[in-house]
């Protein structure tokens, strides 16, 4: 078992699925010779050829539209959008076309597409490169949205996504691409879509989070222990569908819930989690549900992004507030 970064695990997942299934193809700008904007597809064109790893023009809507055509003709395309902030061009193709193929055709056709895209802040990118837009797509019936936080999950979830018969948006936190390594099995394995993971047990407060803020929440939970506050951290891993059962079980144990994400606060996935807990576990709560998120502004310039993103002091303050309620 080798230690890998998240980007290496993503590369290995695609390579192994391309070896297993010749219907798996990759397309996007610079995914061939250059290996993609962050080198996720590095070496794959040389290994599998230009007919299976295809460079395209910088035309996001065409990349996804071509993928839909390939998918309904029995291929299993993986499309790369270089940064999530540029996915607006594909909204019609994803939400109005790919996500409706099964429903619209009464099950005669499916659209087994994986759309991979880096997202998130903390790496000093210019405007539109750091947006966290998961809520836009979690609102689309027929579409799954996956947001891994480590190399092990990234490989297993991507393999599950490639094998899924419906479209999947696979969002990769740029900040974590090469932040740390984990042991990742050499063999092929799947991590089930729609199953959250308790990454730290606790008794007093539940933190629900996903993607780039998972390591931050784990760090804060460890820092709270000397103050005799036991924090449970749940990595949602998939924001559509949401693993309600794991969240409710945790909240019924701790009685307190904080949701941490780096997307803007209003109308986000965090609001959906809070609503579900209110609906299914209201009388377990000993305090109001709090959210620690990005602010309701466009993503800021690099010089102030550290103040915009959720921070450890902001999460600690939320923990103190729910404990003192």
Q: Which residues are catalytic?
A: 129
DSSP 210-267: -TTHHHHHHHHHHHHGGGT--EEEEE--EEES--HHHHHHHHHHHS-EEEEEEEESTT
Q: b vs e for 189-214, b when ≥16 Cβ sit within 10 Å of the residue's Cβ?
A: ebbebbebbebbebebbbbbbbbbbb
- Token digits for 211? 């993607």
Measured distance CA(324)–CA(317) in Å, rounded: 11
Decide if 109 contacts 69 (C-beta within 8 A). Answer: no
DSSP 283-323: GG-SS--EEEEE-SSS---GGGHHHHS--HHHHHHHHHHHH
Q: Cα dihedral sign for 55, 59, 62, 68?
A: positive
| Residue 191: closest CA among 235, 256, 127, 255 | 235
Decide if 191 contacts 237 (C-beta within 8 A). Answer: yes
What residue has token string 């945790």? 250
What residue has token string 């003192």? 324
Decide if 29 contacts 41 (C-beta within 8 A). Answer: no
Query: Cα–Cα–Cα angle for 1, 192, 20, nearest 5°?
Result: 60
Neighbours of 68 (CB within 10 A): 20
């Amino acid at each position: 078992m080798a230690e890998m970064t998240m980007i290496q695990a993503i590369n290995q997942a695609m390579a192994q699925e391309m070896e297993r299934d010749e219907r798996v193809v990759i397309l996007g700008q610079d995914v061939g010779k250059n290996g993609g904007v962050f080198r996720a597809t590095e070496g794959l064109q040389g290994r599998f050829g230009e007919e299976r790893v295809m460079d395209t023009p910088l035309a996001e809507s065409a990349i996804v539209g071509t993928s839909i055509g390939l998918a309904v003709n029995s291929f299993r395309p993986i499309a790369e959008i270089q940064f999530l902030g540029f996915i607006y061009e594909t909204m019609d193709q994803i939400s109005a076309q790919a996500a409706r193929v099964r429903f619209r055709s009464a099950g005669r056709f499916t659209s087994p597409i994986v759309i991979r895209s880096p997202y998130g802040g903390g790496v000093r990118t210019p405007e539109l490169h750091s947006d966290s837009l998961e809520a836009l797509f979690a609102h689309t019936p027929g579409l799954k949205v996956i947001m891994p936080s480590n190399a092990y999950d990234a490989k297993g979830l991507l393999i599950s996504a490639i094998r899924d018969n419906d479209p999947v948006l696979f969002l990769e936190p740029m900040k974590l691409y090469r932040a740390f390594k984990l042991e990742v099995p050499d063999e092929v394995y799947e991590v089930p879509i729609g199953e959250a993971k308790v990454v730290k047990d606790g008794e007093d407060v539940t933190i629900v989070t996903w993607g780039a803020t998972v390591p931050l929440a784990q760090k804060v939970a460890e820092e709270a222990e000397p103050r005799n506050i036991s924090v449970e951290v749940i990595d949602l891993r998939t924001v559509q569908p949401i693993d309600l059962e794991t969240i409710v079980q945790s909240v019924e144990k701790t009685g307190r819930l904080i949701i941490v994400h780096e997307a803007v606060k209003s109308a986000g996935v965090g609001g959906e989690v809070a609503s579900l807990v209110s609906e299914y576990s209201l009388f377990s709560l000993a305090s109001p549900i709090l959210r620690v998120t990005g602010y309701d502004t466009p993503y800021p310039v690099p010089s102030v992004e550290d103040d915009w993103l959720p921070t450890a002091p902001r999460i600690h303050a939320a923990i103190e507030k729910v404990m003192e309620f």
